[in-house]
Amino acid sequence: MNDDTLPNCELCATSGGVVLWQSALCRVVRVEHPDYPGFCRVIWNRHVREMTDLAAEEREELMRVVFAVESVVRALFSPDKINL
């Protein structure tokens, strides 16, 4: 654990799900949920409370990953709706 993580934060202390992809900044995980087969999370590796706590360039990178995940989930699962 580094200085940017919190020991009592589940997403800092664990992977948060099955890691599908990761970079130095964030990771994409699949969350096991029987009602939501395409449930994925994009988790910033450094602990931040809200997306607006990120620098502008970090937010741009985060959203690039979020939109890529949305595209893949739509292609694989054809959901009625995507919630971000």
- DSSP secondary structure letters along the chain: --TT--TT-HHHHS--SEEEEE-SSEEEEE---TT-TT-EEEEESS--SSGGGS-HHHHHHHHHHHHHHHHHHHHHH--S----
For 4, residues 6+ apart whose C-beta sits below 8 A from its C-beta are 45, 46, 47
Q: What is the pLDDT along the chain (84 residues), one digit of tens a residue?
A: 445 777 788 888 888 899 999 999 999 999 999 998 899 999 999 999 899 999 999 999 999 999 999 999 999 999 999 998
d(CA 13, CA 77): 29
